[in-house]
Amino acid sequence: MRSLDRSRKLLVGTAVSATALLATLTPAVAADNPAQDAAKKAQLHALLAAIDATGSALDSGQESTINRHYALLDSLRKEFPEVARKVSDPRKLEVTATEAVVTEDGEVVSPETGKPLGKDELAAIEPPADAKASESSEEQETPEETDVDPIAPAEGDAAVAAASVRGGKWKMTHITYTHRSYFGNTIFKYHTYARFNYKGGKVRAWGKRYDNTSNEDSGVDVGGRMMNRKSKVPASSATSIMKRKVTFKIPVYGEYATVYPWAKVKVYGSGRTKIAGTGA
């Protein structure tokens, strides 16, 4: 399993409307003194408005914007911790991927060592029973890709020889995005699963593709699949993308934010994979 640190590149940056947040979370800042209450509400409104503005600009990748956004989130955590507990922190987003190769004889092996995987290792890669399989009626096929793996190992490389098989090989990839609050508690996990067949520098076919969520907080409402794309094969490379709608709710206050987690895996005819995506 490989863990990818994407605190800078995979920014959750949920662009939640400041007005919507204020309307639903204002009761959390109620005070005994009306004047103090009004001042706190104004402070919260200003913070949320600034967070909304910087969050919407995170995709620019500008260091100053990212630093400003994080500073505002830190202020929210300090001044309004109950509100902050319900907001995802891009610095807490964790991305992991587990993979396996299926030989022509049906043996499941590690792509790094070529050794057979145990029952628990295989279970960490295979989709659970409640994962939703991709349906052909909802799939969007994108044009054939022509990218070639820039770091494809040479023929006879030891790593390839360790897991070599006769004919095409199937590879399974499981990507997990773990979303956490400012305080480190898990809000939910988004999973995608994909299989593809490769041989001779070509991605020859897609196998089953799935997505699902797990470890949902009580305030998480998982919606339907918003995107389901795969590129045309055979090709030198191919891409699979899935996306979901997830709504956050708080008892009494109701819905306060909606995010659209998505995950993309680009696969090459060499068997290598490249992962991308975001939590929002």
User: Residue range 114-128: average pLDDT?
Assistant: 91
The span from the CA of 39 to the CA of 46, in Å, is 11
Locate 43 and state its tokens.
Answer: 């402070």
Question: What is the C-alpha separation between 65 and 152, in angstroms, rounded?
Answer: 36
Helix (H, G, I), strand (E, B) or coil at 35: helix
Q: Could you tell me which residues are beta bridge partners of residue 140? A: 229
Determine the Cα–Cα distance for residues 219 and 190; give it in Å rounded to an integer.
15
Residue 167's pLDDT is 57
Q: Are 10 and 278 in contact (CB under 8 A)?
A: yes
Both tokens of residue 253? 């206050």
Q: Who has greater pLDDT, 156 or 204? A: 204
Residue holding tokens 């995010």? 259
Write the CB contacts of 194 (distance below 8 Å, at least 6 apart in sequence): 172, 173, 206, 207, 208, 209, 210, 240, 265, 267
Q: What mean pLDDT do residues 244-264 have?
A: 74
Give one word for 129, left, alpha or beta, with left for phi > 0 and alpha for psi -120 to 50: alpha
Average pLDDT over residues 166-186: 87
For residue 228, the model assigns a pLDDT of: 96
Q: Helix 34-56 vs helix 63-79: angle between axes, to the nearest 10 degrees?
A: 150
Q: What is the pLDDT of residues 10-36, one digit of tens each?
A: 343 343 444 444 444 444 444 456 666
Which tokens sit at 158?
Answer: 């030891």
**Segment 193-196 long-range contacts (CB within 8 Å, at least 24 positions apart):** 193/125, 193/126, 193/127, 193/131, 194/240, 194/265, 194/267, 195/170, 195/171, 196/170, 196/171, 196/233, 196/238, 196/240, 196/267
Write out the H or E segment, with its range, that includes residue 160. Answer: helix 158-162
C-alpha span between 53 and 60 (Å, rounded): 12
The predicted model gives 58-67 an average pLDDT of 83
Q: Return all residues near 118 (Cβ < 8 A) that are at least 6 apart.
A: none
* CB within 8 Å of 271: residues ≥ 6 apart: 101, 111, 160, 169, 171, 198
259 vs 245, which has greater pLDDT?
Answer: 245
Average predicted confidence (pLDDT) for the chain: 78
Tell whether the model's pLDDT for residue 137 goes beyond 60. yes
pLDDT of 16 reads 42
- Tens digits of residue pLDDT in 76-114: 889 988 877 777 788 888 999 999 998 877 789 998 888
Q: Is pLDDT of 266 > 80?
A: yes
Tens of pLDDT, residues 186-225: 999 999 999 999 998 999 999 999 999 999 988 899 999 9
Please give the average per-residue pLDDT across 37-54, as a whole number: 77
Candidate from 69-78, 221-230, 250-259 with smallest mean pLDDT? 250-259
